[in-house]
Amino acid sequence: MSDTPTQQFETIQIHAGTEPDPATGARQVPIYQNAGYVFRDTEHAAKLFGLQEVGFIYSRLTNPTVAALQNRMAALEGGAGAVCCSSGHAAQIMALFPLMAPGRNVVASTRLYGGTITQFSQTFKRFGWSAKFVDFDDLDAVKAAIDDDTRAVFCETIANPGGYVTDLDAIAKIADDAGIPLIVDNTSATPYLCRPIEHGATLVVHSLTKYLTGNGTVTGGAVVDSGKFDWSASDKFPSLSAPEPAYHGLNFHETFGPAAFTFHSIAIGLRDLGMTLNAQAAHYTLMGIETLSLRMTRHVENAQKIARWLEGHEAVAAVTYPGLDSSPYKARVPRICPKGPGALFTIKLKGGYDACVKFVESVKLFSHVANLGDARSLVIHSASTTHRQLTEEQQIAAGAAPDVVRLSIGIEGAEDLIADLDQALGA
Ligand X SMILES: *Cc1c(COP(=O)(O)O)cnc(C)c1O
In the complex, the residues that contact ligand X under the rule CB under 6 A are 87-89, 113, 115-116, 156, 160, 185, 187-188, 207, 209-210, 219, 221, 372
DSSP string, 306-351: HHHHHHT-TTEEEE--TTSTT-TTGGGHHHH-TT---SEEEEEETT
By C-beta, is 207 or 394 nearer to ligand X? 207
Select the residue whose beta carbon is closest to ligand X and give its number. 88
- What whole-number distance in Å separates Cα of residue 300 and Cα of residue 373? 11
Position 424, amino acid:
A
Q: Which C-beta is closer to ligand X: that of 274 or that of 426?
A: 274
Least separation, in Å, of the C-beta of 67 and ligand X? 20
Please give the DSSP secondary-structure letter assigned to residue 277: P
Return the number of the residue (253 or 332) whose C-beta is nearest ligand X: 332
Nearer to ligand X, 241 or 395 (CB): 395
Quick one: 110 or 160, whose CB is closer to ligand X? 160
Nearer to ligand X, 209 or 346 (CB): 209
- Shortest Å, Cβ 21 to ligand X: 28
State the minimum distance, in angstroms, from the CB of residue 371 to ligand X: 7
User: Shortest gap between Cβ of 341 and ligand X (angstroms)?
Assistant: 14
Q: How far is the CB of 51 from ligand X (least distance, A)?
A: 29
Neighbours of 222 (CB within 10 A): 31
Residue 327 CB: number of other CB atoms within 10 A?
21
What are the φ/ψ torsions at residue 352 (nearest 5 degrees)? Answer: 70, -155
Q: How far is the CB of 238 from ligand X (least distance, A)?
A: 28
Contact indicator for 378, 365 with CB cutoff of 8 Å: no
Query: Burial level of 361, CB count in 10 A (0-12/13-18/19+)?
Result: exposed
Cis bond upstream, residue 161 (ω within 30): yes
HEC string of 361-391 equals HHCCCCEECCCCCCCCCEEECHHHCCCCCCC
**Under 8 Å CB-to-CB from 308, ≥6 apart: which residues?**
324
Q: 152 or 250: whose CB is closer to ligand X?
A: 152
Closest separation between CB of residue 201 and ligand X, Å?
15
